[in-house]
Structure 1
């Protein structure tokens, strides 16, 4: 995922070198490399045949929230077996042993000479240690350099240098890159030559230099030959989707998923149907300030008294279906201490990541059952407001200190709570567990895990991603929708009004009900199912009682 974009970098695309030994001149290229290819007896001719160019520098991180199953498949698909071959390893070990022996022998023969070398090395290192007790390496931490959005999630970071047109590339885009790897240790900001302040005034602070030039062992460089923007990152789908095939196979995948989720939601089929709609939802169109297609679901009345970790157990199953997800317990401590919004760091001239800097299609599960008594400080209040803003508008406000800038997002938010959530939601479904299921929940989780074998799991994983990519069309002749809405309006009263928002909510749900059943347009049977689901849901919300579970 593109985490940040730095200023363009200037380099010598082509330059001429003069060999002082042979008096020959050569044209060399500076493209796809960080350091110039100049031999000891060569000099650069700065007056002729010098072409400068610029390349875009982009900071990328491993896909935030990428599921373990997706990572495992990626590793299997991209693993280079020849790197494991024994001869290479043993050859390297033998060479290392030889080197060690020759070093030992030299030391025995001429201990005095070795001492001189060591002393010289110490002399070179000493001034830096004395001058900079707070040396460059200590100016910024490892975590600062890696700058990952999600805390406590193992990730990698890389600086990609792009030579082609990058106008359509944005922060948070998912990309696939092929290029030349560059890990020359001299690229690290720690080893930048000290400048004479009179000749070259300082334009960057030490912290900024190291932030933009981290050690390549920690943050490698990649000179891109090919960059491709991705619509999704599900490794099970490697080709463009065939819509007819996807729709044909949708129903059987839905049956597997509905069966598993109904069991996990303690026999509540309605909640399982809404959860399926939530899992396949995505923003398909933006109109003015409205993000069409977003579907924030609040499942309440969770049996936390009997099963305190029910929300986490439910998430542990959901994350095995979806490609990217993150579980965030809404504790007072988390809200008061976590950085949710990305922030511009002017001292280091970079975007410091936050938890809500996620790529499109990520599932964010907010566990409100972990909220305890306490006081939200200023940070906590801002974090709760940021979550509400994301849910309502599918936008995240990045903090640029002097102003806020909104970045569009497409993050599916699922809120799990005991009572109705404090956060806004598009669809609130109070859970209606069966008594029999409540008694044997642990056995249900075990049975679901046994039922969801790898082949069934993969069918569900492909189904959930494909349905976000399917093109859905709505015909203009929807007589049955028009008639039903007129009837609903005629039956409405002041205590139970029917507005245009209700019709919009029904149409969004109907779209997802149709897609989940393998239909790419709205038909009467799906519309009737949608009306049934909404009527049952609204009845539950109306008759909601205090949880006794």
Structure 2
């Protein structure tokens, strides 16, 4: 049975007016707390209609939810009349309908204005909306990182505790009142065109996996190790020509996140070398299709001279409007970069800057935002996977290079991907998503001692000094050991896992020699 309070909440204008208590300074926080409490349960929250399904030209001031990425935090705050001359509430798009109004400037307050876009790279299975297109014409396409169908909204926030916490590339669900209004900076212009505007009531932060996941995960049907092997086999068969070793490295790559910035514990960047280019331009590799069924956030970036020289990878402010770059992606994203489309020709200055921006993201997990008289670097948390035709990436230095060895006759592009059963696919997603949220605790003293003694022994047994493992090799193996531990949904590195890392590394190095 639906409570009257929940039913009333779907007429947010009436609720705001009824809550109003004349205390204009504390009222925005009161409104946020009221609606947040009403929709605290998942069942109640799921009743809020998605912004995708509403046409504001037909139904103005509807309560909607919008799963979004914050794209631009640079617009200036807007002044609004928090209390009208008739004593009624202002804000959230409410206007005085008396026709005349004497403004008391002490009743003016600021709201925060942002621009938010549909989440770049969100896989269709995440929302359950079958990737709907907006019912309202898309505006400002330059503010979306990925050149696909999408839409964006002007966002107005009245509760400062919400607005202060939102940063560029944050993935959040915004719940508010949908209207059509001119841009805040164009409100005085008679020629201003209306844009979708969301007057926020409350926000919900989204996890790095978009859909909440659990670590460690205990599947009901099979053990984690068996499920992990089934996942690797499926990834290999459908995306990598049956190459299970490469599939295991891809698994370790896609579960990576920024564990720490000081000291730096960053995601593993991976090159799959000897990956053939597509015979047909703009064909998506099967591996990207496979990963799109596992990951909530996946972007495939096909490099070409056209893309490098004529697009922007970094966000750039033009005429006080932040244009998005292709790398302005929410944390938790996986970016598959294909090099096969780069043909002979010149890479110009913009192309060089784009390559540098992508390398900086791989190496340091940062992205530069360009403004007319300054540049600012912002943190990122994006996993990069490079597909290269050569022995190594043509353009990038990655943490690891794995030479792919597909079986004869296996197609890596254009063939239909066979999906596992819905039950198996759901468990694969739980396994991958849970591993991405996990943390590895401190390595026990006994295991640390084992690793140290093993490292010393391996150095002594090297045929020549040039072939001896180095301290950089040790750091790399420790990174892989952490990822391998997480992929098994464990929180502590064991000697067994360390030995498995050495096996993976030996096999990888042998392939590179071939």
TM-score, normalised by the number of residues in structure 1: 0.72
Q: CA deviation at 1:488?
A: 2.4
The aligned counterpart of 2:72 is: 4
Contact in 2 for aligned 1:302/1:311 (Cα 8 Å):
no
The aligned counterpart of 2:12 is: none
Counterpart among 248, 272, 276 of residue 273 in structure 1: 248
The aligned counterpart of 2:479 is: 508
Distance 1:490 1:333, change over 3 A: same
Counterpart among 289, 299, 323 of residue 296 in structure 2: 323
The aligned counterpart of 2:90 is: 30
Distance 1:309 1:36, change over 3 A: closer
- Secondary structure at the aligned position of 1:415 is classed as strand
The aligned counterpart of 1:16 is: 85
Counterpart among 159, 175, 178 of residue 175 in structure 2: 178
Contact in 1 for aligned 2:305/2:347 (Cα 8 Å):
yes
The aligned counterpart of 2:5 is: none
Of 513-522 and 495-504, deviating more is 495-504
Distance 1:445 1:463, change over 3 A: farther
**Alpha-carbon displacement from aligned partner over 1:501-543 (angstroms, at most 9, x marks no partner):** 21111111111111112211111111111111011112222x1
- 1:454 paired with 2:422, answer yes
Distance 1:358 1:442, change over 3 A: closer
RMSD: 3.0
**Alpha-carbon displacement from aligned partner over 1:244-303 (angstroms, at most 9, x marks no partner):** 537986434322211112223223221111011011111111026x3x131111001124
Contact in 1 for aligned 2:332/2:382 (Cα 8 Å):
yes
Distance in 2 between residues matched to 1:173 and 1:158, nearest whole Å: 15
- Secondary structure at the aligned position of 2:126 is classed as helix
Contact in 1 for aligned 2:304/2:343 (Cα 8 Å):
yes
Q: CA deviation at 1:498?
A: 2.5
Distance in 1 between residues matched to 2:413 and 2:324, nearest whole Å: 40
The aligned counterpart of 1:43 is: 101
Of 403-412 and 458-467, deviating more is 458-467
Distance in 2 between residues matched to 1:233 and 1:503, nearest whole Å: 30
- 1:421 paired with 2:393, answer yes
- Secondary structure at the aligned position of 2:143 is classed as coil
- 1:169 paired with 2:191, answer no
Q: CA deviation at 1:152?
A: 2.7
**Alpha-carbon displacement from aligned partner over 1:355-390 (angstroms, at most 9, x marks no partner):** 011111111111112221111111111111211111
- Secondary structure at the aligned position of 1:433 is classed as coil
- Secondary structure at the aligned position of 1:372 is classed as coil
Distance in 1 between residues matched to 2:144 and 2:461, nearest whole Å: 49
Of 495-504 and 301-310, deviating more is 301-310
Of 457-466 and 321-330, deviating more is 457-466
The aligned counterpart of 2:347 is: 376
Q: CA deviation at 1:305?
A: 8.3
Q: Which runs of 5+ in 1 are unaligned?
A: 18-26, 79-141, 195-205, 545-549
Q: Which runs of 5+ in 2 are unaligned?
A: 1-68
Contact in 2 for aligned 1:339/1:354 (Cα 8 Å):
yes
Distance in 1 between residues matched to 2:231 and 2:305, nearest whole Å: 34
The aligned counterpart of 1:129 is: none
If you compute each CA radius of gyration, which structure gives the higher value, 1 or 2? Answer: 1
The aligned counterpart of 1:282 is: 257
Distance 1:454 1:394, change over 3 A: same
The aligned counterpart of 1:62 is: 118
Counterpart among 372, 375, 379 of residue 401 in structure 1: 372
Distance in 2 between residues matched to 1:451 and 1:401, nearest whole Å: 48
**Alpha-carbon displacement from aligned partner over 1:416-447 (angstroms, at most 9, x marks no partner):** 0111102111010011233xxx225489954x
Distance in 2 between residues matched to 1:182 and 1:143, nearest whole Å: 15
The aligned counterpart of 1:532 is: 503
Counterpart among 415, 423, 431 of residue 404 in structure 2: 431
- Secondary structure at the aligned position of 2:501 is classed as helix
Equivalent residues, number = 434
Distance in 2 between residues matched to 1:261 and 1:310, nearest whole Å: 19
- Secondary structure at the aligned position of 2:246 is classed as helix
Contact in 2 for aligned 1:249/1:518 (Cα 8 Å):
no
Distance in 2 between residues matched to 1:187 and 1:369, nearest whole Å: 41
Distance 1:145 1:304, change over 3 A: closer
Of 467-476 and 145-154, deviating more is 145-154
Counterpart among 225, 232, 236 of residue 251 in structure 1: 225
The aligned counterpart of 1:102 is: none
The aligned counterpart of 1:215 is: 194
Distance in 1 between residues matched to 2:280 and 2:501, nearest whole Å: 31
Q: CA deviation at 1:144?
A: 7.1
Distance 1:338 1:515, change over 3 A: same
- Secondary structure at the aligned position of 1:320 is classed as helix
The aligned counterpart of 2:147 is: 152
Q: Which has the higher helix share?
A: 1
TM-score, normalised by the number of residues in structure 2: 0.77
Q: CA deviation at 1:146?
A: 3.7
**Alpha-carbon displacement from aligned partner over 1:80-111 (angstroms, at most 9, x marks no partner):** xxxxxxxxxxxxxxxxxxxxxxxxxxxxxxxx
5 Å matches for 1:59-208? 59-71=115-127, 73-74=128-129, 145-164=140-159, 165=161, 166-184=163-181, 192=188
Contact in 2 for aligned 1:65/1:150 (Cα 8 Å):
no
Contact in 1 for aligned 2:298/2:334 (Cα 8 Å):
yes
